[in-house]
Amino acid sequence: MTVLTRTILTRIAASIIMLVLISVFIFFAVDMLPGDVARAILGSSATTEALAALRTKLGLDEPAVWRFAHWAWGVLHGDFGTSITTQEPVTTIISFRLGNTLWLAALAAAISIPLALALGIGSALWEGSAFDRIASIVTLGAISMPEFFVAYSLVALFALNWQIFPPISTVTTDSTFLDRLDALILPAITLAFAVVAHMMRMIRAAILDVLGSPFMVMAELKGMPLRRRILRHALPNAAAPIINVIVLNLAYLIVGVVVVEVIFVYPGLGQLLIDSVAQRDLPLVQAGSLIFAAIYLTLNTVADVLAIAFNPRLRFPR
């Protein structure tokens, strides 16, 4: 086994341990609550019989470790339990919504990654120019703006003023591709806004870092044309940090989706999570949190693995 594979396998093993710890936390966060889960759900006016019935239903009268084992076994088999409010299996509720969320995230990524690359490379090449300065000011503003400000501005302009796109993103199981695209344009742009700003800044920094190194000066002094210098010498060396920041931002997209889904009333996993937190539907909250945490963790691991693969210096952690 080479050093590279061993480092990567160690990193993946660490993430799996992390995921197990997170699922333990997600399960027992509910247990740690002072007082009684059943009473918290039913309220203070519940009768003793109702409380006892709910406790049996939630399995609260069994030992905690046994309950966790039972839950974890179910999760591994794709069974997240039953929703308290709707009495439907959590898996059925979630599958449609997870697809919707991934759709939105994918569209946002498709908009933001090329844009961030173009802006980042451009402002690094013309460092200090008007383009660079304006881009830097605009991105600082975009990072500082809350999603709902961007979202409502877009709705006011494109949905109410000009009526090009719908203000609310309604999709059903039989929406066509174009329907979805039409409904998702505004939320996707909102999401892209913050992510592009962050990615662009990191890409610019990564390229500037490479452009300042001696081998780039050497290439210029040899009289190599700009195009070749950038494509053959600068970009391959800046690739590692760029890929890393793109994957990290994908992780952010998946989680940042929550607020945007609520704004546009989009039937995704984020909206479901917020609703179930408000209704204290614990099986749904646990399932939603676990899925979000798992995706986030996986993307972070991918980012790390890619960074290790591209940068030999990271193969020997100190």
Q: Which of 148, 180, 243, 298 binds another protein (CB under 8 A)?
A: 148
- Contact region with another protein (CB under 8 A), list: 1-9, 205-213, 290-298, 308-316: 290-298
φ, ψ dihedrals at 93, nearest 5°: -65, -40
Does residue number 304 form part of the binding site for another protein (CB under 8 A)? no
Q: How far is the CB of 296 from another protein (least distance, A)?
A: 5
Q: How far is the CB of 222 from another protein (least distance, A)?
A: 32
Does residue number 278 form part of the binding site for another protein (CB under 8 A)? yes
Name the DSSP letter for residue 78.
T
- Total Cβ atoms within 10 A of residue 294: 14
Could you identify the residue written with the tokens 């990193």? Answer: 11
- Contact region with another protein (CB under 8 A), list: 100-108, 199-207, 220-228, 281-289: 281-289
Does residue number 20 form part of the binding site for another protein (CB under 8 A)? no
Instruction: Give the residue among 167, 142, 166 at the shortest CA–CA distance from 256.
Output: 142
Alpha-helical (H) ranges within the chain are: 3-31, 37-42, 48-58, 64-76, 90-125, 130-144, 147-154, 177-211, 214-221, 226-228, 235-263, 269-279, 282-310
φ, ψ dihedrals at 108, nearest 5°: -60, -40
- Total Cβ atoms within 10 A of residue 161: 9
Q: Token digits for 185? A: 């344009």
Please say whether the beta carbons of 159 and 187 come within 8 A.
Answer: no
32 or 221: CB nearest another protein: 32
150 or 219: CB nearest another protein: 150
Q: Which of 145, 216, 224, 243 binds another protein (CB under 8 A)?
A: 145
Interatomic CA distance for residues 93 and 89, integer angstroms: 7
Give the interface size with another protein as a residue count (CB under 8 A): 51
- Contact region with another protein (CB under 8 A), list: 87-95, 96-104, 133-141, 310-318: 133-141
Which one-letter amino acid corresponds to residue 88?
A: E
Angle at 59 between CA 56 and CA 61, to 5 degrees: 75
Does residue number 156 form part of the binding site for another protein (CB under 8 A)? yes
Buried-exposed string 15-43: b where 16+ CB fall within 10 A, e elsewhere: beeebeebbeebbeebeeeeeebbeebbe
Instruction: Give the residue among 225, 66, 9, 282 at the shortest CA–CA distance from 234.
Output: 225
Does residue number 273 form part of the binding site for another protein (CB under 8 A)? yes
Does residue number 122 form part of the binding site for another protein (CB under 8 A)? no
x-or-dash string of contact with another protein, 220-259, rule CB under 8 A:
-------------------------------x---x--xx
Does residue number 277 form part of the binding site for another protein (CB under 8 A)? yes
Torsion of Cα atoms, 287 then 291 then 292 then 295, to 10°: 170
- Contact region with another protein (CB under 8 A), list: 50-58, 117-125, 173-181, 288-296: 288-296
134 or 218: CB nearest another protein: 134
Could you identify the residue written with the tokens 């979630």? Answer: 94
Does residue number 143 form part of the binding site for another protein (CB under 8 A)? yes
Task: Tell which positions 57-96 bind another protein, by CB under 8 A.
Answer: none
Please say whether the beta carbons of 58 and 78 come within 8 A.
Answer: no
103 or 193: CB nearest another protein: 193
Note the residues at the interface with another protein (CB under 8 A).
18, 21-22, 25-26, 29-30, 32-34, 37, 40, 130, 133, 137, 140-141, 143-149, 152-153, 155-156, 160, 167, 251, 255, 258-259, 262-263, 273-274, 276-278, 280, 282, 285-286, 289, 292-293, 296-297, 300
